[in-house]
Amino acid sequence: MKYLLSLLLLVVGVATADVPLPDTPAGKIFAEYLVAFNSGDLNQLKRFYVDLGWDNGVSDRVQRHVEISGGMTLLRVEQSEPLKILVLLQEKETLQPIQAELVATGDSPPRIEKIYVKRTELPPDLAPARLPKKEALRAFSAWVDQRTKEDRFSGVVLIARGDQVLLQRAWGKSNRETGADNTVETQFRLGSQNKMFTSIAVLQLVEAGKLALNEPIGKHMPDYPNKDVASKVTVHHLLTHSGGTGDIFGPQFDANRLSLKEHSDYLKLYGARPPEFEPGSQDRYSNYGFVLLGALIEKVTGQSYDDYVRTRIFEPAGMRSTGALPENENVPRRSAGYMKENGKWVPNTNTLPYRGTSAGGGYSTASDMLRFVRALQSGKLISKKMLTLATSPQDHAGGYGYGFGLHGSGATRNFGHGGGAPGMNTELLIFPELGYVLIAMCNIDPMAARTVVDYYAARMPID
């Protein structure tokens, strides 16, 4: 036990104490920003932005970052000029490394000209040490045990390499009201991980000659309400979030949540919207774009989306615990989801869609997701050539393929997809060169799954 505790303390993370910021206009402003961000008080952060002339304010994205990060620790200053600073930080809750850039104006007093925050990777000199297999698994399990005790994790983790499952274990409660525990066969809501199934379904139809990546969706959906979307947005655009087709969540969704039962219902509600930008000109994550892909699959095949993915993906892969039945139907092993409100976990029932769609919302188990990966890599679902295309950069930023997020480089290059919404969080990372598959499925808020996956990925042996 003492050995495990020492090992755990050794590899918990690099975020220990803040380092000094330079005594420059940019450094002083960033110090104020960090205090406001770490307060967790959105009103304080808003006042900071207003006082420093940053008109963008506290967007939904910034608000979410404040909520999930637990604040940020300054690791080091990477570049410093009087009116510009580039820093490396680490989120306290998720341990995610963050790069931030702030540019100040030359006014007196100086104001914010630009502030930009993005995810990054720890440089080699700050990254935690790689551990031998047994030690890495022990340290990981002890760390997740501690997070569970602190009520910061509830779910299942599966770690495999090649044909061997190295770890498969459940933590926390499946239902806090009944006291039922999570098990390795608990079914968790997938969130946006459904997008991988949708992508594979579309690519199957491309390989069958029934769809083409560069054809506009209007070829198959001539009655689509908005003619610019129909004539300009292609299958490629939808698969890469570059079609400008927007989101589904917001006031309209909230008002119609339980009446949106089929993909056609979403098209009726959102189909008249014009593109948010010229299709193909930029990338912006679009849940509605993947709803459109689901509707396109239905149009081309004459089947419901659920029937198609069941017969062409789930059954060939042996995924018997995966589906998208409505929330009002009994799925005995489906976990209850819990989201934080005023510091307490409450059921997410009133936020859930009627049922899962081609954009997200189905459910599965960790074992089934491993079956999906193995079927995918074996060529059972699409050809290996098509999988290479799907997991190669297809967007402007080089971080997204066709329905798969792309991460890392060299031996640690990986692809996969996460899913997250109030009361649910999943993550899947596939390392093709190393043979690792990392799966985490949670019935609590993001970033619970991504945090544990990243923790192990940073420490696992790579030889």
Q: Walk me through the domains of the chain, giving residue ranges and CATH numbers.
A: 14-119 (3.10.450), 130-463 (3.40.710.10)
User: Does the pLDDT of residue 405 top 80, yes or no?
Assistant: yes
Q: Output the pLDDT for position 136.
A: 97
Q: For the ranges 5-14, 217-226, 321-330, 392-401, which has the lowest average pLDDT? A: 5-14
Q: Where are the alpha helices (DSSP H) in 211-257?
A: 227-232, 235-239, 251-256
pLDDT above 90 coverage of the chain, percent: 86
User: Does the pLDDT of residue 197 top 50, yes or no?
Assistant: yes
Q: What is the pTM of this model?
A: 0.89
The pLDDT tens digits of the residues spanning 268-311 come to 999 999 999 999 999 999 999 999 999 999 999 999 999 999 99
**Can you tell me which residue has the tokens 């809750």?**
93
Q: Output the pLDDT for position 19.
A: 86
Per-residue pLDDT, averaged over 172-190, amounts to 98
Per-residue pLDDT, averaged over 346-355, amounts to 96
Helix axes 287-301, 263-270, angle to 10 degrees: 120
Cα–Cα dist 442/446, whole Å:
8
* Contact predicate 87/78, CB 8 Å: yes
The pLDDT tens digits of the residues spanning 27-67 come to 999 999 999 999 999 999 999 988 888 876 677 778 888 88
Per-residue pLDDT, averaged over 409-434, amounts to 96
The pLDDT tens digits of the residues spanning 256-266 come to 999 999 999 99
Q: Output the pLDDT for position 238.
A: 98
385 — pLDDT class (breaks 50, 70, 90):
very high
User: Does the pLDDT of residue 105 top 80, yes or no?
Assistant: yes
User: Does the pLDDT of residue 3 top 80, yes or no?
Assistant: no
Chain mean pLDDT for the chain: 93
Tell me 71's DSSP state.
Answer: -
Q: For the ranges 123-127, 261-265, 324-328, 330-334, which has the lowest average pLDDT? A: 123-127
CB environment 11-23: b (16+ within 10 A), e (fewer): bebbbeeeeebee
Q: Output the pLDDT for position 14.
A: 47
